[in-house]
Chain A
């Protein structure tokens, strides 16, 4: 259904490069959504936590660049203006399609998603501690712990770090570091026993 939104948005603003940007919202039926005549998508963020918009309005007065627009109807005015005039960028246009609550510059994680990832991380932490009570052998216990850690790390990377929606190039950079990590580990482990003789000789000498 995030997809539907994408379609709607792109109908208004084509090349909605922000395809990454829609929120996975459950319902659009908040009061605000109906008051903004031009767009039902407008409040997709607010309807998750309606106190958000209260805060929005409060904070607007403090926003340096927003001093002109204050009060609750600022939002309305905001959506009437063609924001694309300042920058004709696709993402911003897509943002317009979403009212000004645009996640114009990057993907916004919905609160439900954040909480779900957090809960999964907590459950996995409890799980990884409790599996140590089962003796499955040195190697199996280690592998299980590393698999769970990797699942946790993936959750953090994909959702908390927004990698799922990030530019491919950024993903490439980050994952590239793991490639070099693998090289580093692989090559070093490969000859890890190289100096064992010297260590043994040293120990023997010391023991005497």
Chain B
């Protein structure tokens, strides 16, 4: 706001509205802003295409092998995934709010919103770390069982029927499967026993072939997303410093706006990842 005043003054001196944040190759703040905005949209468009390769991998693999996804979903923690979704949505709100504050030259609000956004991003990564370490300890990695890098080997410590969550919901099915497994029966026989106990319904609890591929997709998608979150934290920290210096105002809030757009895209991708990975039914 008072910005305008200063600018009006400045204009009397320079006749051009030059400000400290108006790069010399732009005539006006509007032109500068619109140019940046065009650039960030182009960037986001290519981000969509960047991620699309992973979504295609997911779609192709799931359509060919739904049984792997059904089996694997028992190992994902829906609760943690849902909490992370909430955390990201909150950070999206504060990112959008930060833009508003920058537009209104509300420095305090801007700083607070950026800090909350960064805090949420760390919270998200913390929960992600917890999930990843569980996967690691439970042998739910992406490599084949004979992978050279032993730590990447897919070697689930627990069968689905041994999982607490599954036992709680379908005790008789878990019981039947466990019994069949103890008798050293084949996978097909265990599946048949489980199906019989479930009254004909197939819960897909016997591990299918190539189940490691699901975790390849899982780690790749959430990992690339996580890298984007880390990049977002770096950008927000940089902007936090600039915001503290009071560099943003109604005429110059582009960087905040562009970072927020990027941040919303990261949220947008998670909005799809969450049901695709955690809510398989």
Residues of A at under 8 Å CB distance from B? 45-46, 51-52, 55-70, 74-75, 77-78, 81-83, 85-87, 89, 91-92, 95-96, 99-106, 108-109, 111, 114-115, 117-118, 121-122, 125, 128-129, 132, 135, 138, 141-142, 145-146, 148-149, 152-153, 156-157, 159-161, 166-167, 169-170, 173-174, 176-178, 180-181, 184-185, 188-189, 192-193, 196, 203
Contacts and interface: CB of A to CB of B under 8 A. Distances in A.
Given A52-B109, A177-B46, A185-B52, A100 B279 contact: no
B251 interface: yes
B30 A89 contact: yes
A156 B38 CA distance: 19
13 contacts: A46-B104, A65-B7, A66-B5, A66-B6, A70-B2, A103-B103, A104-B251, A128-B274, A129-B78, A161-B261, A170-B38, A178-B48, A181-B49
Nearest to A60: B2
B251 A177 contact: no
Interface string B56-94: 100110011010001000000010001001100110110
B66 to A, nearest CB: 7
Contacts of A196: 64
A102 B92 contact: no
Given A55-B108, A66-B249, A156-B271, 9 more contacts: A74-B2, A100-B2, A104-B29, A145-B276, A156-B268, A160-B95, A173-B45, A174-B41, A177-B44
B4 interface: yes
Contact of B281 (A58, A117, A142): A142
Contact of B34 (A69, A167, A193): A167
Interface residues of B, number: 87
Interface string B234-278: 000000000001110111111001001100110110011011100
A112 B164 CA distance: 43
Contact of A63 (B16, B55, B64, B249): B249
A68 B34 contact: no
Contacts of A45: 104
A158 to B, nearest CB: 11
A125 B138 CA distance: 28
Contacts of A78: 1-2, 4-5, 8
Contacts of A95: 4, 250
Interface in B1-26: 1-12, 16-17, 19-21
A15 B138 CA distance: 64
A47 to B, nearest CB: 12
B96 A160 contact: yes
B33 interface: yes
Taking each of B20, B41, B101, B265, which has the highest tally of chain A beta carbons within 10 Å of its own beta carbon? B41
Contacts of B253: 105
Given A56-B106, A74-B2, A142-B281, A114 B275 contact: no
Given A65-B6, A125-B82, A129-B78, A156 B264 contact: yes
B28 interface: yes
A135 B281 contact: yes
9 smallest beta-carbon distances between A and B, as pairs:
A62-B246, A59-B107, A86-B11, A86-B17, A100-B1, A177-B45, A145-B275, A69-B2, A78-B5
B121 interface: no
Contacts of B96: 109, 114, 117, 159-160
B30 A91 contact: yes
